[in-house]
Structure 1
């Protein structure tokens, strides 16, 4: 397990998204499977089940952080946005261009 992946903001954003999604999915599964109406639901048990599933999702992300790509899962990778690309030195707001690429001024 590398500490750099655990300390990155991308890792924790993706892990938080996974935790919220897991909580919602497991709570929905318990509600659909166990009750005929929302008044018949054993809410403490449903929330405890969803909470345990969420905890396991977070622990899985932490355990898999040193394996595979840069994301919280073994096969996941985080994506970079357009703002994350390297900028060309001295030219703010424009992405870096590889050497030999024609520009409007260099043609």
Structure 2
């Protein structure tokens, strides 16, 4: 958890989670209009998803591959 590799992977996961939350929020808005979008709400939802993803990565540290935020290993 104390390596650049871990934090790079964790940041990538957090960015993906934020994007997924944002897309999910906008997909639920039947008449999404960018001119009338609630951007503070969207930013808050995306930031919350990113924080939850980072916390999940920290809790998962050491359970899978070394220096990886994943619970899964690459063993075959």
Tell me if TM exceeds 0.5: yes
Q: Distance in 2 between matches of 1:16 and 1:39?
A: 30
Unaligned residue ranges in structure 2 (runs of 5+): none
- State the number of aligned residues: 72
SS in 1 for 2:35: helix
TM-score, length basis structure 1: 0.60
Moved over 2 A (4+): none
Larger helix fraction of residues:
2
Using CA pairs below 8 Å that are at least 6 residues apart, which structure has the higher relative contact order? 2
Report the equivalent of 1:8: 3
TM-score, length basis structure 2: 0.82
Q: Deviations over 1:4-36 (max 9, x none)?
A: xx1111101101111111111111111221242
Indicate the RMSD between aligned Cα atoms, in angstroms.
1.5
